[in-house]
Structures are given as C-alpha cells and as structure tokens.
C-alpha cells in the first residue's frame, strides 16, 4: 500500500510539472524554440493576439495580427487545422485560452510563446 501511495504521488508531481508545457492541447515554448521553428523550413503561422496599435509598434517577424477580442470568431476563418500555429500575446494567458479553444475544434499543432511579447528579446518588425 505504501508503494502505491509513492507511485501516485510521483505521478501527481510529474503531471503538475508538465501541465504548463502541455496545456489544453497545446505546448508552451520559449524564444529559442520559436526561433528554431522559424528556421526549420516547415511553414509556421505566428499569430499576435495583441491590439492592432501594439502590433504596429513592433511584432515578431512574419507574425499576423488577430486581436484577441476577435480571435474566437476570426481564427477559425483564417487558420486551417493543418497549420502549425504559435500564439503570442502580452504575457501568455490569452494564447493559452485561444489555443485551448482551437484544440477543441480539432486543431492539432498549437503552441504558445511563454511570457508572450514580454519574453521575446529578438528582432521586431514594424
């Protein structure tokens, strides 16, 4: 009985550690992972969920802007289920929410940039 409790505690501990990495059908990535994805030769769509004014002031190169307020309506129209999609917002939570929503609609390859634009220290496009 004691061994079973230890195993259950270990499983619970591991699930708590990995939950932020594999949230509701998407994976949390950091800047080096995103930069590698941008260079690996496979198509990628970077969706900046911030307001248009902030997007115009500077965004990750190649990103498109679908403001969060419109994302639940517009993302399914503009993105296909076969796309490899990375969400970027101010600091992360909006990307988690929209990725979870799209996962429920059948989208498979979804990512969210950890810390959003606050975590991005690379070049900006204007």
- What is the distance between the alpha carbons of residues 87 and 96, in angstroms, rounded to a whole number? 8
**Cβ neighbours of 62 (radius 10 Å):** 10
pTM over 0.85: no
Averaged pLDDT for residues 105-115:
96
CATH assignment of the domain containing 109: 3.40.250.10
> What letter does residue 90 receive in the DSSP assignment?
S
Range of the domain at 83: 24-119
Q: Is 103 a member of any domain? A: yes
| Cα separation, 91 vs 95, whole angstroms | 9
User: Which contiguous run of DSSP H or E holds residue 6?
Assistant: helix 2-18
Residue 30 in domain: yes
Is residue 54 in some structural domain? yes
- Average pLDDT of every residue of the chain: 87
Note whether residue 66 is domain-resident: yes
**CB neighbours (10 Å) of residue 1?**
5
How many structural domains does the chain have?
1
Q: What is the pLDDT of residue 25?
A: 81
């Amino acid at each position: 009985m004691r061994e079973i409790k230890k195993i259950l505690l270990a499983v619970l501990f591991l699930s708590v550690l990995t939950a932020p990495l594999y949230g509701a059908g998407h994976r949390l990535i950091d800047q080096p992972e995103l930069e590698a994805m941008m260079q690996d030769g496979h198509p990628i769509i970077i969706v900046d969920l911030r307001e248009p004014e902030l997007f115009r002031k500077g965004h990750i190169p190649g990103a498109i802007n679908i403001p969060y307020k419109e994302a639940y309506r517009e993302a399914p129209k503009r993105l296909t289920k076969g796309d490899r999609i990375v969400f970027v917002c101010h600091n992360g939570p909006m990307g988690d929410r929209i990725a979870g929503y799209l996962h429920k609609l059948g989208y498979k390859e979804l990512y969210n940039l950890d810390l959003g634009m606050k975590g991005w220290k690379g070049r900006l496009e204007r």
